[in-house]
Chain A
């Protein structure tokens, strides 16, 4: 019994580490694809690894009026994202038996809570701006994600991530599955701070949300934040492929398809105004609601 638990735990953590190592590559591929579509050459797909390594070596600067929360927040953000990654349906054998999809969602909420709180720690206007916008966007993302969970749970009769996974032999294009797929993709962009909701590449104070909170970070703490954000994108791409993309393809292909989708969206759209985000997310919510009714 105890042995079983330990083995499962090892498998889960092993999977999380593998995903962690792959995450910068996926972000690099998204960037490369984006550059290709914008007629640029772009940086190497391994550039994200170099960046993380660069920050990792540099010393960390802290401003004098920060408290322990400021150091703890990136760590908690990283830890919770890694723990969420270990909860995904296990592809190397083993079973994540410590929580269901609600635990998964609320682990991300734990990371967000710490990041948003820490944004106010450096006593500048920028940090608070980021934290304020982050919780505002989260307020509209959360209901849609909840509806997405409901839609899948009604279909599969379970709220565990393994139970909610689409069965590859029974994948078919129904109204509900297509609508949830599209809606989840839109929410994924918002949750991961991508265009059109947020721009991960700029530090311009009028456009930034997530980058705003990380403005005061440097050194290893900054690399933890970036790495965790890349892992979060990969985790959401995996959830999208496993739970919501109704196509019968190998998993890696589905993930790359999702990544290509992100790149296409980022090329075709601009970042929208902050107060249009709720309309964008309301559209996703209505699609989810229709899917729930059509189930």
Chain B
């Protein structure tokens, strides 16, 4: 525990740089971010040693407040620490561009944000959990609102504040319902609660709504694609990479500790909503032209996959009551860890692109690989990871998620379980293929081809800190993809499951939940691809290559950058195939010009409104506003009216009192 307090001390130094003098803001910037790197490093190494040695941690009590750490929270602390180190190194370079734009506030809040996430994970009682949860929410709100001069940022931040408050309210209800049925507010006491009957369902519903809102589940995701892109990039990286995972932490805490007897329908709800949110998330991701919104929707997708795997584990436990259910939880935890690394990498690369070009609109890029070669390589690795391709860590998680669904289908022998399994496979297949298309588009449009605007010609590569951070995380994507053994060993410790179930000799993954043994041996796959690769490379390098000075043949016309496929055009087939879900609004106007043979001028406008916002939130909003307008009639501002209200109230109270005398 002491090392965690040392980490909090580091963060506090970072927070105190808020009060540095204006002239010293660059120095304060370095101090603050180095403090964040050190604090996160301490958190990471401490959590790692807890997981590796599996020694129970001594809880620290302070009145009714408890700080403690068990396996489940140590796994998330490790993830937070790792992402915190990487993102803070990135911030050393990236945040400097905010000089003169409230830089000290950015850095102070950055430390507060990481610190509050660490403390949420350490909280050992309901009150401190809620306290740190709120600090986390407020710190992230202020960070999202950092560029408040922009109207869109301001709107996004307030939408986030409202939604996250609703979520906190639901979580409070869940905690207080549990606490009223147990001896005290500590998690240990709440684990021995006496909840029964309908109360169980109420607690589940409140906890699920609260945490699903934080995790960005469809239909509660509407704030996410607005809020995450609005924040500075390193903040978006941690919001997507870590803060969403804390929702999984809280949900897991409820499921494992407070509500250990699961209902069949709870599991089905978690799994099916997870799958739907994965599918819809990636579908919207492919439609977006704002690079950070693409990534935000991709987070919705991956949180969906993570919760689907968790739900699959719950369902396996309910249906078969065997140890096979562990694979679902392990898959969820592993994918959470892997996704956090990948998403931090991708948001950092999006930040570099914005830093280099000054825009985040896909349609303006093209050919950036020449200007930003290192960023291009790192982004490519991240894109491969998010498309879950072999040899990246994304695939290890995906493999395990798919194995948990197969295990469910094989062990749950009833037709209804088989139906859920078939649904899972259809949606996982769709999600996987759409994610591949989404990141082909993301990378190809941004980095390849010819420049679509002047912004690209002015683009420049990022500085050393930013490249180092991206390099670290892309190396981790590959290392955790090819040698996943150690991470899985640590996460198995977190779940108190023996790793023989999933790990064999030489770092290969073994699973036997669906009858016979199946393996995935990433090292051997790498070796096989490498051997064939060397042979092929020998022949390809040995060939004659000629590069003519002229441009690509384009049916006799001189090709311009505008003739390339645009980002919107690239996703057109998918948009058309799913138009009953997406409901794109198109507006085309032709203007007739003098020459009837040469092309007419065409104005084209495409808008894909978020279906859920339009169908669910806007009507609700409308009724809410009109109801408020109705209630406003009570408040006329005249003192005489208020005096009469007081009198009426008093009369009622007197009558009431007389009745119950």
What's the Cα separation between A165 and B117 when bound, in Å?
A: 49
B387 → A minimal CB distance (Å): 6
Residues of A within 8 A of B528 (CB): 9, 12-13, 83, 86, 98
Measured CB to CB, the closest approach of chain B to A266, in angstroms, equals 23
Interface string of A104-130 (1 = CB under 8 A from B): 001101101100111111111101110
Given contact pairs A79-B536, A86-B528, A160 touches B574 in the complex (Cβ within 8 A): no
User: Which candidate, A35-43, A135-143, A254-262, is the interface stretch facing chain B?
Assistant: A135-143
A182 interface hit (Cβ, 8 Å): no
Task: With A117-B448, A123-B450, A274-B573 as known contacts, state yes or no: A64 contacts B532, CB within 8 Å.
Answer: no
CA of A235 to CA of B576, assembled, Å: 32
B389 touches A109 (CB 8 A): yes
B544 contacts across to A, CB distance below 8 A = 59-60, 219
Chain B nearest Cβ from A164, distance in angstroms: 10
- Does A21 sit at the interface, judged by CB under 8 A? no
> A106 and B565: CB pair below 8 A?
no
Quick one: CB contact mask for B506-541 with A, threshold 8 Å, 1 for yes? 001000001111111100110111011100110110
The stretch that binds A, out of B15-23, B188-196, B304-312, B414-422, is B414-422
| Distance to closest chain B CB from A173 (angstroms) | 22
Measured between alpha carbons, how far is A126 from B224 in the docked complex, in Å?
Answer: 35
Q: Which residues of A contact B515 (CB under 8 A)?
A: 156-158, 163
**B389/A292 in contact, CB under 8 A:** no
What separation, in Å, do the CA atoms of A160 and B518 have in the docked complex?
6
Chain A residue contacts of B387, Cβ below 8 A: 109, 113
Q: Tell me the bound Cα distance from A224 to B436 in angstroms.
A: 23
Q: Mark A144-159, 1 if CB is under 8 A from B, else 0.
A: 1111011001101111
CB contact under 8 A between A98 and B519, given known A132-B570, A141-B433:
yes
For B531, the chain A residues whose CB sits under 8 A away are 9, 13
Partner of B425, one of A100, A138, A150, A274: A150
* Complex Cα gap A91–B11 (Å): 61
Q: Judge whether B573 and A132 touch: CB under 8 Å.
A: yes
Once A61-B546, A110-B389 are accepted as A-B contacts, the answer to whether A120 and B449 lie under 8 Å apart by CB is yes
CB of B465 to closest CB in A, whole Å: 26
Whole-angstrom distance between the alpha carbons of A71 and B527 in the complex?
21
A83 to B631, CA, bound (A): 69
Are B564 and A124 within 8 A (Cβ)? yes
Which listed residue, B436, B443, B543, B573, touches A220 by the CB 8 Å rule?
B543
* Cβ-based interface call for A65 (8 A): yes
Look across to chain A and name the residue whose beta carbon is closest to the beta carbon of B427.
A143
Do B532 and A109 touch across chains, with their CB atoms under 8 A apart? no
Is B449's CB under 8 angstroms from A135's CB? no
Residue of B nearest to A221 (CB): B540
Distance A177 CA – B22 CA, assembled complex (angstroms): 75
Q: Which of A41-61 contact B (CB under 8 A)?
A: 59-61
Judge whether B532 and A292 touch: CB under 8 Å.
Answer: no
| CA of A141 to CA of B415, assembled, Å | 25
CA distance A285 to B432 in the complex (A): 16
Q: Is there contact, CB below 8 Å, between B564 and A103?
A: no
B437–A139 touching, CB < 8 Å: yes
Task: Give the interface segment out of B67-75, B215-223, B551-559.
Answer: B551-559
Nearest B-chain residue to A133, judged by Cβ: B573
Known A59-B544, A103-B520, A293-B418: A109·B529 in contact at CB below 8 Å? no
Judge whether A145 and B429 touch: CB under 8 Å.
Answer: yes
Chain A CB within 8 A of B31 CB: no
Known: A83-B529, A120-B445. A159 touches B514 (CB 8 A): yes
Residues in B neighbouring A63, C-beta threshold 8 A: 547-548, 551-552
Task: Select the stretch in B40-48, B334-342, B398-406, B612-620 that faces chain A.
Answer: B398-406
Pick the contact of B545: A62, A120, A136, A160 (CB < 8 A).
A62
Report the interface size class on chain A: 35 or more
A37: shortest Cβ distance to chain B, in Å?
A: 32
Contacting residue for A64 out of B366, B399, B548, CB 8 A: B548
Residues of A within 8 A of B409 (CB): 150, 153-154
**A124 and B516 alpha carbons, distance in the complex (Å):** 49
With A9-B524, A64-B549, A65-B449 as contacts: A146 and B533 at CB distance below 8 Å? no
B546 with A135: CB separation less than 8 A? no
The chain B residue sitting closest to A60, CB to CB, is: B545
| Alpha-carbon gap, A71 to B536, bound state (A) | 12
Is residue B652 within 8 Å, beta carbon to beta carbon, of the partner chain?
no
**A69 CB within 8 Å of chain B:** yes
What residues of A have a CB within 8 angstroms of the CB of B536 in the complex? 75, 78-79, 224
Docked CA distance A133–B565 (Å): 12
Q: How far in angstroms is the closest Cβ of chain A from B316?
A: 15
Measured between alpha carbons, how far is A135 from B571 in the docked complex, in Å? 9
A153: chain B residues at CB < 8 Å are 406, 409-410, 514
Q: How far is the CB of A21 from chain B (nearest CB, A)?
A: 14
Considering the complex, give the chain B residue whose CB is closest to the CB of A120: B444
A289 contacts B by Cβ under 8 Å: yes
Chain B 418-458: CB-based contact to A (< 8 A → 1; otherwise 0): 11011001111110111011011101110111100000000
How far is the CB of A197 from the nearest CB of chain B, in Å? 13
On whether the beta carbons of A135 and B437 are closer than 8 Å, the reply is yes
Contact of A65 among B426, B430, B552, B554 (CB under 8 A): B552
Contact digits for A68-84, partner B, Cβ 8 Å, 1 yes 0 no: 01010001001110110
B437 partner, pick from A69, A138, A285, beta carbons under 8 A: A138
CA distance A119 to B537 in the complex (A): 20
B548 in contact with A61 (CB, 8 Å): yes
**Contact A136 B574, beta carbon cutoff 8 Å:** yes
Given contacts A157-B514, A160-B519, A275-B576, contact A69 B448 (CB under 8 A): yes
Chain B residues within 8 Å of A14, by CB: none
Residues from 204 to 247 in A contacting B, C-beta threshold 8 Å: 216, 219-221, 224
B399 contact from A102, A141, A293, Cβ within 8 A: A102
- Known contacts A125-B564, A220-B543; decide if A106 and B390 are in contact (CB<8 Å): yes
- The reply to whether A124 and B532 form a contact with Cβ atoms under 8 Å apart is no
A251 at interface (Cβ–Cβ under 8 A)?
no
Given A123-B450, A124-B552, answer yes or no on A116-B529 (Cβ-Cβ < 8 Å).
no
Assess the B418–A136 pair: CB atoms within 8 A: no
State the CA gap A123–B553 with chains docked (Å).
Answer: 10
- Find out whether the CB atom of B532 lies under 8 angstroms from the CB atom of A97: no
A93 within 8 Å of B (CB atoms)? no
Question: A95: shortest Cβ distance to chain B, in Å?
Answer: 10
The 12 sampled A-B contact pairs (Cβ below 8 Å) are A62-B545, A69-B448, A99-B520, A102-B403, A131-B565, A132-B570, A139-B430, A157-B514, A157-B515, A158-B516, A163-B516, A278-B577
> Chain B residues in contact with chain A, CB under 8 A?
366-367, 369-370, 376, 380, 384, 387-391, 395, 398-399, 402-403, 406, 409-410, 415, 418-419, 421-422, 425-430, 432-434, 436-437, 439-441, 443-445, 447-450, 508, 514-521, 524-525, 527-529, 531-533, 536-537, 539-540, 543-552, 554, 559, 561, 563-565, 569-574, 576-577
Tell me the A residues contacting B by CB distance below 8 Å: 5, 9, 12-13, 16, 59-65, 67, 69, 71, 75, 78-80, 82-83, 86, 97-100, 102-103, 106-107, 109-110, 112-113, 116-125, 127-129, 131-133, 135-136, 138-147, 149-150, 153-154, 156-160, 163, 216, 219-221, 224, 274-275, 278, 285, 289, 292-293
Closest 8 CB pairs of A and B: A128-B565, A157-B515, A135-B437, A143-B429, A146-B429, A136-B573, A120-B444, A142-B433
Since A139-B577, A293-B418 are in contact, a sample of 17 more A-B pairs with Cβ atoms closer than 8 Å, ordered by chain A residue number, is A62-B545, A83-B532, A99-B521, A110-B390, A117-B443, A120-B448, A124-B563, A128-B564, A128-B565, A131-B444, A131-B570, A132-B571, A132-B572, A135-B440, A143-B425, A143-B430, A275-B576
